[in-house]
Structure 1
Amino acid sequence: MLRGINLGKRQLKSAELKAVVEGMGFTEVKTILASGNVVFEAGDASPEALERDLHAALEKATGLKSDVYVRNRADLEKLVAANPFPKEAEERPSFLLVTFHREPPSQAAIDKLLESHDGPERMVILGRELFTDFPEGQARSTLIPAMQKAKLAHANTGRNWNTVLKLLAALGE
């Protein structure tokens, strides 16, 4: 998963992303949606090495600098099984956001943010991922600007529940 792709001037066509990954020698390459998602067969490569190597290959091929977050099928299966908001995921999957981090977010920082925030959103940290339920959607939420102001998280990338399920399904094919 690439951070911030196809937002503003940070454009990367799915075909370009696929070509970069195939050019690195990976197989079974498929892009998912047009927001910087790609699945592929990587053999025994470590996630950390993949993140570093994909970042470098993308920058070299396209000039685009983007943080890369790698999760394998087992990671996504575990994440889906542990979803703290199963009812919300079923009823309004586009309003449930999973943000992927390199290191777990700070529970103390999340608690402090939620204490000072007057909104219906709920947040749960599971491992390195942060699940955020936006009952009224992200567009009207005041939580995201509050998170940015609080400088809550290091670099991360978010995917709604629909996209998480599409990524897992693509890994299972």
Structure 2
Amino acid sequence: MTTYLAFLRAVNLGAKRKFPKDDIRRVVEGVGFTGVETYIASGNVRFDTTMRSRDRITQMLERAFLEDRGFDVPTIVFSASEFAELARETARLHAERPGLARHYVYLLPEEPPASVVEAVEATSNDLGDMVVRGRAAHALLRPGYEDGVVDPLGATKLLGIATNRNATVVTTLGEKWCTPAR
């Protein structure tokens, strides 16, 4: 069995995209995955499976979510070991920049090509930095950016499909769901 983490994009936003945690858990268990847990209402789920193909797992979950909800639910899947490394990198980047106002982590389905990485990182400015590491893009925002602005650096449109979580959620899930002594 391998442990995976899935991150659902744009659920529980507004009246038409509701997907309660209990329903997410039910659907993930319904496709045959075990050890299913959720964390907060933003669409974070961990599960165990004998399947090895991240693409097949993603497709299976997206089909099941669509069937259950009636709307597309883009889903970003990481193995627990991949996500553990992402969480460690998130903690490192955060620690290197004391005084950040916000640190958002955009989770990506695939590692972007070098040209996209370069374009995303080039959006860094006085408000903050964009740093891409593998399948994650970090928005490291300094005090002074306008709170509540979704994309203050103008980088997310370059990323394609992604879902974001704040650094606290990423590091918490890395500790909670990716440690060997589960």
In the superposition, the TM-score normalised over structure 2's length comes to 0.80
CA distance in 2, matches of 1:31, 1:138: 31
Q: Does 1:158 align with 2:164?
A: yes
Counterparts in 2 of 1:167 and 1:89: CA distance versus 1, 3 Å: farther
Counterparts in 2 of 1:13 and 1:88: CA distance versus 1, 3 Å: farther
Q: Which residue of 2 aligns with 1:18?
A: 25
Q: Is the 8 Å Cα contact of residues 88 and 133 (structure 1) preserved in structure 2? A: no
Q: Is the 8 Å Cα contact of residues 62 and 75 (structure 2) preserved in structure 1? A: yes
Q: Is the 8 Å Cα contact of residues 125 and 131 (structure 1) preserved in structure 2? A: yes
Q: Does 1:110 align with 2:117?
A: no
Q: Is the 8 Å Cα contact of residues 121 and 143 (structure 1) preserved in structure 2? A: no
Unaligned runs of 5+ residues in structure 1 are none
CA distance in 2, matches of 1:28, 1:143: 35
Q: Is the 8 Å Cα contact of residues 123 and 129 (structure 2) preserved in structure 1? A: no
- What amino acid does structure 2 have at the position aligned with 1:153? L
In the superposition, the TM-score normalised over structure 1's length comes to 0.83
CA RMSD of aligned residues (A): 2.5
CA distance in 2, matches of 1:108, 1:171: 30
Q: Is the 8 Å Cα contact of residues 39 and 167 (structure 1) preserved in structure 2? A: no
Give the C-alpha shift of residue 129 in structure 1: 1.1
Q: Is the 8 Å Cα contact of residues 89 and 96 (structure 1) preserved in structure 2? A: no
Q: Which residue of 1 aligns with 2:155?
A: 147
Q: Which residue of 2 aligns with 1:133?
A: 140
How many percent identity over aligned positions? Answer: 26
**How many positions carry a matched residue from both structures?**
167
